[in-house]
Structure 1
Amino acid sequence: MQRKLSLKLYLSIIATGLTAFCGVLIETAMNVTYPTLMAQFNVNTATIQWLTTAYLLVVAIFVPLSSFLKRRFTIKQLFVSAALLFIVGLLICTFTNHFATLLLGRIIQGFGTGIALPLMFNIILEQAPIEKLGFFMGIGTLVTAVAPALGPTYGGLLVETNWHLIFGLLLVVMAVAFTLGIYAIKQVTPTKKDHLDFPSWFSIALVFVGLILGLNSLSTSLSLSLVYLVIAVISLIIFISRSLKITHPLINISVFKNKAFTLHLISFLLFQVINVGAAFVLPSYLQIVNHVSPVNAGLLLLPGAAVGAILAPFGGRMYDAFGIRKPAYIGLSCQFLGVVLLFALAATANIWMILLGYVLVMLGPGFTMGNTMTNGLAQISQKENADGNAVFNTLQQFAGAFGTSIASLVMAIAQNKAYYASSTATGAQNVFLIMIIFVVINTVSLLLGLKFAEKSE
């Protein structure tokens, strides 16, 4: 197939991108609604968190299926299914005033997001011109990297008016996405009658269920967390063992034998951990330490999210023109300076310097995150791209859950009700210290990945 730019290519990327964007946006938008929803439904923190935990579990269970689904069904069939599921979930959450029904709506949204997330990247990898791949992958990563940062702003602006609007307004976006997708999405590779290996799916599902529940339990019960993590490890061993034995594995794990691919993947996931961790800590920090309202706390994060959004396609253009090194050096340097600034200023609580630090943090994924995925997938064969894409998208969901859980745990350990503001500042400072370490590991991983990539050329 000849790869060429067309209006339908742009529209199909927009349609799948908007669907994925809505799914990821809701994930972090829910964080600022918890106090309101706890009061309305008369439930505690552990219960209300299931609105996010259940959603993440469903997404994590479905994303590993993306490689199989792509082989078995057309992209348009998958898009229509994902969009309709997400719209149904939004409708339920828009009109319900019962917690159980709200939770059901979130679970249905999870099904839609789990199917939708990999579609955009599959379209880009299959149909975008090679010389424009960095640009389009930058746009794609904009969705998954910037949406979590925009979530608190979006939720904060609407929660004090009517939390139902958080879901209701996205129905308009999804109507546009659905219309564009029906018109523009086309199939360029034939489907085939493939059979789902249920034992592999069940074992990999248990891996992510165990990991997410284990991380969520860290701050409440260490023993329960360990039980979940042991289940995850045992399930992972079973999944790997089976994948190596069968002819057509659910995910081709041989991609991990490629050192350059694996190191790029580690770097990509650390970007996500830092992004989501910062987006989780800063709204609470600004409200508790600086006594900023939820709306203003969300608005203070908006410049950083906007910078990341604007620079993602620009970073992709730099990749197309110069390769990965220039945008990678800029992005990693900015993110390092950002987390160092946030760490140094956490105790002083200067709002505008914190805003600057967050903008610098978001320059990291803006310049580098999409390029890391693009360059990582370039290290494996075209035949393995669907498997590599499934790995990136699946583990990105786990990385988001990991970033939130680590930040939440570190903050909870430091917080003291007698000195709530100062102890929250200390907790935030500890989180940013950990992020400094993550940025260093990220830098080493990406530089090593580039070194191995050059050796294999």
Structure 2
Amino acid sequence: MKEKKIHLLLAVLATGIMSFAGVLIETAMNVTFPTLINQFGISTGMVQWVTTIYLLVISIMVPFSNYLLKNFSIRKLFIVANLFFIAGLVIDLWSPSFSILLFGRLLQGVSTGIALPLMFHIILNFTPMHKRGTMMGVGTLTTSIAPAIGPTYGGIMTASLSWHAIFLFLLPVLAISLVIGLYAIPEMPVKKTGALDIVSLLGVALLFSGLLLFLNQIGSLLGLLSLAVGIVGFLIFYRQATRGKNPLVRIAVLKNKVFVLFLCGFLVCQFLLLGISFVLPNFIQIVLGKDAFIAGLVMMPGAAVGAILAPISGRVLDTFGSKKPILLGLSFATIGWIALTLLLRSPILLGFVAGHVFYMIGIGFAYSNLMTTGMNLLSEEEYGDGNTLFNTLQQFSGAIATAIVATIINLAQQSQSDFIAATVTGSQISLLVLLALLVAVFIASLIHFRKEPKLG
């Protein structure tokens, strides 16, 4: 019955375009950071808030969307999200100051925070199980490929026109998304289930805000106070999640250790996607002296490979199970990441292209399949909570990754007199930290699949 009420592929496409646009801007703005620093007279630590505030808002909105999906129709939510995004684009297109730019990014974060869980909600509730891998591959294409395409898009716009053009050319894209969504997503009645847990939402806001401020103010009194705020937020959220009548998220799904493994693997992949999208374009501009266009162009081949592999990898999972694509993907990603880390000391543009392509082959096979495999372990009643955890932590992990690499590079730049050498050192340390996480996930997955050879 459900499949007859909604044009599934078009509905996923409409919400996917909106999610894609959100994540695209996320990394497209990274290549503009040197330009924004000069134009607005701000530091490296300050400019990364263009990305961080966006991801912070998404991290708060996604748990809230779990409540929205239970109480409002998917059509209404789609329209609201789309209009918020368009408003954010118009504001950033005009933005005469850094604070107004951040406000526009905030509105875009609200939109993407609704669009991402909405897209996966449609996939999980309207797609037959035997086709879910393929559809999840199409869905996660937005969050895995957009970070890689973003620097290319941002570089072309900034070098040929202006960073404002990044927002201008997405306005017709959002208009197309709106038209498709209005056609494909019908008005469907919703049985309202429970009231909004305001206390939980407050806890989430304090948790994510405190931790991000801490990462941006490490070593200062403000940083310690921010950490304390984050801890208080976690305690509030945890108490409500375990004792509240209508918690935003039921964290009982985290008792499933295998689900947690795939969730962690998925989050590490997100760490890598956002980390390299910050480090590599800025490295190419600052250290190699290339413009934003070249910095973005280096990322394009890898993005194309990842785009091709995302839906294909889902079909591989539907056909052969989860073990082969996940382990193959993590292997390729590890090799490519090691190559990128080593190349920072002896930079070669074509070497960066090759390393990034190899790494994106791995992401193409592993990323969406980690989420699909994790979600397949849950019951239908747990889909909303699992979906919320994946999307909330995905965005927050992206914010953490951006904050961590920006902080490491900033600290290195401040500790050495040679700005270029300090940028090289900071960039390499950043990639080594993320490499350690990737290796840990790969080893844990290898151990799991050896114990459970019949899984998937």
Question: Could you say which TM-score interval applies, normalised by the shorter chain?
Answer: over 0.9
Alpha-carbon offset, residue 257 of structure 1: 0.7
CA distance in 2, matches of 1:97, 1:428: 31
CA distance in 1, matches of 2:43, 2:345: 30
Q: 2:214 touches 2:224 (CA, 8 Å); kept in 1? A: yes
Partner of residue 365 from structure 2, selected from 364, 367, 373: 367
Alpha-carbon offset, residue 42 of structure 1: 4.2
TM alignment of 1:217-296, pairs within 5 A: 217-218=217-218, 221-296=219-294
The verdict on how the C-alpha distance between 1:238 and 1:319 changes in structure 2, with shifts beyond 3 A counting, is same
Q: 2:54 touches 2:106 (CA, 8 Å); kept in 1? A: yes
What amino acid is aligned across from residue 178 of structure 2 in structure 1?
F
What amino acid is aligned across from residue 215 of structure 1 in structure 2?
L
Partner of residue 406 from structure 1, selected from 404, 428, 431: 404
Residue aligning to 2:216: 216
Residue aligning to 1:110: 109
CA distance in 2, matches of 1:153, 1:455: 41
Residue aligning to 2:384: 386
Residue aligning to 2:431: 432
Alignment pair present for 1:59 and 2:58: yes
The verdict on how the C-alpha distance between 1:234 and 1:98 changes in structure 2, with shifts beyond 3 A counting, is closer
Alignment pair present for 1:304 and 2:302: yes
The verdict on how the C-alpha distance between 1:352 and 1:46 changes in structure 2, with shifts beyond 3 A counting, is closer
Residue aligning to 1:200: 200
CA distance in 1, matches of 2:147, 2:316: 24
Alpha-carbon offset, residue 280 of structure 1: 1.0
Alpha-carbon offset, residue 343 of structure 1: 2.3
Alpha-carbon offset, residue 325 of structure 1: 0.8
Alpha-carbon offset, residue 412 of structure 1: 2.9
Alpha-carbon offset, residue 75 of structure 1: 0.8
Q: 1:266 touches 1:445 (CA, 8 Å); kept in 2? A: no
Q: 1:267 touches 1:445 (CA, 8 Å); kept in 2? A: no
Residue aligning to 2:177: 177
Alpha-carbon offset, residue 230 of structure 1: 2.3
Q: 2:48 touches 2:403 (CA, 8 Å); kept in 1? A: no
Give CA deviations for 1:82-129 in whole Å, capped at 9, x if unaligned. 000111111122233243333322222121111111111111101112
TM alignment of 1:95-134, pairs within 5 A: 95-134=94-133
Q: 1:338 touches 1:357 (CA, 8 Å); kept in 2? A: yes
The verdict on how the C-alpha distance between 1:361 and 1:246 changes in structure 2, with shifts beyond 3 A counting, is same
Segments of structure 2 that go 5 or more residues without pairing to the other structure are: none
TM alignment of 1:39-78, pairs within 5 A: 39-78=38-77
Q: 1:153 touches 1:299 (CA, 8 Å); kept in 2? A: yes
The verdict on how the C-alpha distance between 1:360 and 1:103 changes in structure 2, with shifts beyond 3 A counting, is same
Secondary structure of 2:170 counterpart: helix
Alignment pair present for 1:87 and 2:90: no
After TM superposition, the structure 1 stretch with the greater mean CA deviation from structure 2, 409-418 or 177-186, is 409-418
The verdict on how the C-alpha distance between 1:7 and 1:186 changes in structure 2, with shifts beyond 3 A counting, is closer
CA distance in 1, matches of 2:364, 2:181: 26
Alpha-carbon offset, residue 3 of structure 1: 5.0
The verdict on how the C-alpha distance between 1:45 and 1:277 changes in structure 2, with shifts beyond 3 A counting, is closer
Secondary structure of 1:292 counterpart: coil
Q: 2:375 touches 2:383 (CA, 8 Å); kept in 1? A: yes
CA distance in 1, matches of 2:289, 2:38: 20
TM alignment of 1:139-150, pairs within 5 A: 139-150=138-149
Alpha-carbon offset, residue 434 of structure 1: 2.0
Normalising by structure 2, what TM-score? Answer: 0.93
Residue aligning to 1:396: 394
Segments of structure 1 that go 5 or more residues without pairing to the other structure are: none
Residue aligning to 1:22: 21
The verdict on how the C-alpha distance between 1:311 and 1:455 changes in structure 2, with shifts beyond 3 A counting, is closer
CA distance in 2, matches of 1:230, 1:129: 45
After TM superposition, the structure 1 stretch with the greater mean CA deviation from structure 2, 48-57 or 246-255, is 48-57
What amino acid is aligned across from residue 409 of structure 1 in structure 2?
T
Q: 1:332 touches 1:443 (CA, 8 Å); kept in 2? A: yes
Alpha-carbon offset, residue 367 of structure 1: 0.4
Q: 1:16 touches 1:116 (CA, 8 Å); kept in 2? A: yes
Tell me the matched-pair count: 454
Overall identity of the aligned pairs, in %: 44
The verdict on how the C-alpha distance between 1:50 and 1:403 changes in structure 2, with shifts beyond 3 A counting, is closer
After TM superposition, the structure 1 stretch with the greater mean CA deviation from structure 2, 46-55 or 377-386, is 46-55
Alpha-carbon offset, residue 2 of structure 1: 5.9
CA distance in 2, matches of 1:32, 1:267: 27
What amino acid is aligned across from residue 434 of structure 2 in structure 1?
M
Q: 1:120 touches 1:140 (CA, 8 Å); kept in 2? A: yes
CA distance in 2, matches of 1:438, 1:359: 20
Taking only aligned residues, the RMSD between alpha carbons, in angstroms, comes to 2.3
The verdict on how the C-alpha distance between 1:2 and 1:54 changes in structure 2, with shifts beyond 3 A counting, is closer
CA distance in 2, matches of 1:368, 1:105: 33
Q: 1:260 touches 1:452 (CA, 8 Å); kept in 2? A: no
Q: 1:264 touches 1:449 (CA, 8 Å); kept in 2? A: no
Give CA deviations for 1:417-445 in whole Å, capped at 9, x if unaligned. 64333333333322232232111111133
Alpha-carbon offset, residue 13 of structure 1: 0.6
Give CA deviations for 1:358-400 in whole Å, capped at 9, x if unaligned. 1111122210110100110111111110110000000001111
What amino acid is aligned across from residue 236 of structure 1 in structure 2?
F
CA distance in 1, matches of 2:427, 2:141: 26
Alpha-carbon offset, residue 229 of structure 1: 2.0
What amino acid is aligned across from residue 346 of structure 1 in structure 2?
L
CA distance in 2, matches of 1:71, 1:452: 38
Give CA deviations for 1:285-339 in whole Å, capped at 9, x if unaligned. 2223322221101101111111111111111010000011111121011011111
CA distance in 1, matches of 2:139, 2:172: 21
The verdict on how the C-alpha distance between 1:84 and 1:358 changes in structure 2, with shifts beyond 3 A counting, is same
Alpha-carbon offset, residue 451 of structure 1: 6.6
Secondary structure of 2:345 counterpart: coil
Secondary structure of 1:347 counterpart: coil
Residue aligning to 1:320: 318
CA distance in 2, matches of 1:240, 1:155: 39
Secondary structure of 2:409 counterpart: helix
Q: 1:12 touches 1:181 (CA, 8 Å); kept in 2? A: yes
